[in-house]
Chains A and B, each alone.
Chain A
Amino acid sequence: MSAAPLLEIEGISKSFGGVVAVDNCSMTIREGTVVGLIGPNGAGKSSVIDLVSGFERPERGSVRFAGVEVVGKRPDAISRMGLIRTFQTPREWRDLSVIDNVRVGHSDLKRETIWRSLRFGHSMRREEDAETEELRVLMTHYRLDGVRNDRAVGLSGGQKRLLEFARIAAAKPRLTILDEPMGGVNPVLGERIGEAIRELKKAGSTVVVVEHNLPFIERTCDEVVVMDLGSVIAQGPFAELRDNKRVVDAYLGNDDE
């Protein structure tokens, strides 16, 4: 468990208007772990994800991914280093077919130039046809085989969640950050999503999960980071945090203060 740190966040802060969303927040995510990021509403979890993935820029502090400073980089540049995040609502490409959604996740970006598409159109189509079988297996795995040729917009909410996982699995990122993957999901599908997270880990991805469902976090994660009021108040295995007074106060409120 003493793997090298993959994501090192040091003292980042961010305010929106007068509201301090993230306040001198630091944490380290080690390679190969599944980390739960928990905390009450407004604790700054989603803001931290935005800061790490480049959608917002911190006012102070540094974020190093695989040893490289990423503050100031665009989201697509950070993504190309191997970081993929999700949003609280599934964001499928609605007018692409389900399999094309997965193909975009899977595709080599070098193929996507106009020149190569014109010059090597046929050979690239053959390459993609050869990959289709692999993707079909992947889609069956995520229970999308029946809808793989349909427009993604027509999927049910649960299927959209699974499509998100199929897309990530096709992209093979080094770090996956999931923002409430269980939102609006029934318990049976919730089990499947827990399994999908463990599969991502098995495939070599480090995973950070933001989630409010604590039993789910306990089952799925190796380690938990607890945030409150914009900064980290505890980090460690779930069992240790259960008795941590600050964690309990943050979640249940403290009448003494």
Chain B
Amino acid sequence: MLQYWTAILTEAAIFSVLALGIDMIWGWAGDFDLSAYAYFALGIYMTIVLTVGKAKSPVEYVLGLRLPYPLAVFIAVVVVVAFASIIGAIALRSLREVYFSITTLGAVWAIYYLVENFTPLFNGYNGVYGLFDPMGGGLSYAAYHYLFLGFCLLALFVVYLMVQRLSRSPFGRMVRAVRDDERAASVYGRNVFWAKYRTYLFGAGLAGFAGGLFAAYIGAFNPLDWKPTEIFVLYAAILVGGRGNPRGVVLGSFIVYVGFVEMTRYIPSPAARPELGPALRQILIGLLIILMLKFRPSGLLPERLGTDGTVPRRSWRGLLSRSKPLSLAGEVESTADSPEGTAT
């Protein structure tokens, strides 16, 4: 049981890192990106082929190096960012909203079928695998997994601090201004494409890093078990936690991964219909998205407003209060019609 929890928490920590990256692109910059899953997968593939050594026939893949794990993850992130710079340059130049999403969806499926069918790249639909042990093999199986959980939690913590700092910085504010009104942002001297592009590359880099962690965790990856549609679970996690709020995104990832994805495994399926359980899980996640959008569209921890410091911070307390809808619903009623209004 303890090992089971170790596994779930490791997974949740890794997916939190991925969700933080996706939230930068969607929550901050407002671009509903569907190719983030490709960056995650590419991060996994690159890390594996850079660490497991030469391919032995009939398995085939590129590179096949034996680099130290940290170096491999670093190179994987660089490759992912380079790759995202191409897709981002095409998709962000002039496409917005649903047109942007369709372009990134096209990109992710093109990559998916390329990887699945072009075996010299990453061994096609059989996928790449290789047991590798970043710690050098001196530990027992259980001890290694506890240690790796600790490592993932530490990585998540560092990434969270970084993203949180960026979120509250002038950069985070400027990117959100671009999201809310591009024309007004360019009137105030902001280069809209460059603002979105930088955010996109940073988010893609985080997705690649999450892939590097995940590679060490499962040690194998194939395109049949991991379809690009898995990304909607992450969007559900962001919606539940709070789009645009890094703390909310981490909270939502843990809730969705521990609460939904794992717990619903225990839903019994009749012996004759074993596929019912997993299907029910997808249905529940769909239902969760709908209910959150209906009753709490800005998530458990809504995006934090920048204040002048005279307002008491409401972070965890925000969980209990009803949130104001964020962009998704109509105009919020004015809180002060008179100039004197509600001075704090």
Give per-residue flags for A217-248: 1 if the beta carbon is below 8 A from chain B beta carbons, else 0. Answer: 00000000000000000000000000000000
B186 touches A104 (CB 8 A): no
Q: A132-B308, A149-B310, A151-B324 are in contact. Are A84 and B187 (CB under 8 A)?
A: yes
Asked if A147 and B341 make an inter-chain contact with CB atoms under 8 angstroms apart, the answer reads yes
Is B307 a contact partner of A76 (Cβ separation < 8 A)? no
A154 touches B180 (CB 8 A): no
Indicate if the CB atoms of B188 and A79 lie closer than 8 Å: yes
- From residue B195, how far is it (CB to closest CB) to chain A in Å? 8
Q: Contact check, A129 vs B309: say whether CB atoms are below 8 A apart.
A: yes
B140 at the interface (CB under 8 A from A): no
Q: Which of B162, B180, B188, B198 contacts A84 (CB 8 A)?
A: B188
Q: What residues on A are CB-neighbors of B188 within 8 Å?
A: 79, 84, 104-105, 167, 171
B157 surroundings in chain A (CB, below 8 A): none
Of residues 182 to 199 in B, which have CB atoms within 8 Å of A's CB atoms? 183-192, 198
The answer to whether residues A117 and B177 also contact, given A95-B327, A99-B306, A156-B334 and a CB cut-off of 8 A, is no
Which residues, 238 to 293 on B, are CB-close (under 8 Å) to A? none
B positions within 8 Å CB-CB of A = 162, 165-166, 168-174, 176-177, 179-181, 183-192, 198, 202, 303, 305-311, 324, 326-327, 331-344
Within 63-110 of A, Cβ neighbours of B (below 8 Å) are at 74-76, 79-80, 84-87, 91-97, 99-101, 103-105, 107, 109
Partner-B contacts on A (CB < 8 A) = 53, 55, 74-76, 79-80, 84-87, 91-97, 99-101, 103-105, 107, 109, 111-114, 116-118, 121, 124-125, 128-129, 132, 135-136, 143, 145-151, 153-156, 159, 167, 171
A154 engages B184 (CB within 8 Å)? no
Q: Are B180 and A94 in contact (CB under 8 A)?
A: yes
7 closest Cβ contacts across the A-B interface? A146-B341, A117-B169, A143-B339, A100-B306, A93-B180, A91-B184, A117-B171
Task: Kindly report which residue of chain B lies nearest to residue A136, judged by CB atoms.
Answer: B308
B196 to chain A, nearest CB (A): 13
Q: Are A95 and B334 in contact (CB under 8 A)?
A: no
**Besides the known contacts A86-B187, A100-B305, 10 further A-B residue pairs in the complex with CB atoms under 8 A apart:** A93-B184, A93-B185, A94-B180, A96-B305, A97-B306, A99-B306, A103-B170, A117-B166, A136-B308, A154-B332
* B306, B308, B326 pick with most chain A CB within 10 angstroms: B308
Q: Which chain A positions have C-beta within 8 A of B306?
A: 96-97, 99-100, 103
Query: Is the Cβ of B311 less than 8 Å from the Cβ of A149?
Result: yes
Whether A153 contacts B332 by the Cβ 8 Å rule is yes
The residue of chain A having its C-beta at the shortest distance from the C-beta of B344 within the complex is A149
B334: A residues at CB distance < 8 A: 147, 154-156, 159
Q: With a CB–CB cut-off of 8 A, which chain A residues contact B181?
A: 91-94
Asked whether, in the complex, the Cβ of B174 is within 8 Å of the Cβ of A107, the reply is: yes
CA distance A76 to B341 in the complex (A): 35
Do B189 and A109 touch (CB < 8 A)?
yes
A127 to B333, CA, bound (A): 33
Can you list 20 A-B pairs, Cβ within 8 angstroms, ordered by A?
A: A76-B185, A76-B191, A79-B186, A93-B177, A95-B327, A97-B307, A100-B305, A101-B177, A104-B174, A105-B188, A114-B166, A117-B166, A118-B165, A121-B166, A132-B309, A146-B342, A147-B334, A147-B341, A150-B336, A153-B331
Contact B180 A76 (CB under 8 A): no
Q: How far is the CB of B186 from chain A (nearest CB, A)?
A: 4
Q: Which of A84, A93, A125 has the most CB of B within 10 A?
A: A93
Distance in angstroms from A215 CB to nearest chain B CB is: 25
Assess whether A154 is in contact with B335, with CB atoms less than 8 Å apart: yes
Q: Is the CB of B170 within 8 A of A117?
A: yes
